[in-house]
């Protein structure tokens, strides 16, 4: 057994399990975009996205719009 294996034992996690854990708690992603021409900033966008499952967002008190009628089939 190498010293690296002794220090940090690895645990295989499936991608589905990782996504389930992230969505159960909620994830916030952020980023900035600047559009410029000839070193002149024309447009600046600051983006924030909240990803989460419906039950976890309901627990946090974030009201989501609900459909009042079923969509056409």
Question: In this structure, is residue 54 part of a structural domain?
Answer: yes
Q: How many domains does the chain have?
A: 1
Question: In this structure, is residue 15 part of a structural domain?
Answer: no
Q: How confident is the model at residue 71 (pLDDT cuts 50, 70, 90)?
A: low
pLDDT surpasses 70 at 53: yes
pLDDT surpasses 80 at 13: no
Question: In this structure, is residue 41 part of a structural domain?
Answer: yes
Asked whether the whole model's pTM tops 0.75, one would answer no
The domain of 40 spans 27-59
Q: How confident is the model at residue 36 (pLDDT cuts 50, 70, 90)?
A: very high
Q: What is the CA radius of gyration of the chain?
A: 21
Mean pLDDT of the chain: 78
Question: In this structure, is residue 5 part of a structural domain?
Answer: no
Q: Look at residue 23 in the predicted model and tell me its pLDDT.
A: 79
Position of tokens 């000839």? 38
Question: In this structure, is residue 55 part of a structural domain?
Answer: yes
HSE at residue 4, side-chain half, CA atoms within 13 A, is 1
């Amino acid at each position: 057994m190498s010293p690296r294996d002794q220090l940090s034992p690895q645990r295989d996690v499936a991608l589905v399990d990782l996504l389930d854990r992230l969505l159960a708690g909620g994830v916030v992603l952020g980023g900035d975009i600047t559009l410029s021409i000839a070193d002149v900033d024309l447009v600046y966008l600051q983006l924030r996205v909240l990803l989460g499952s419906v039950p976890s967002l309901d627990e946090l008190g974030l009201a989501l719009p609900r459909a009042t009628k079923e969509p056409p089939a």
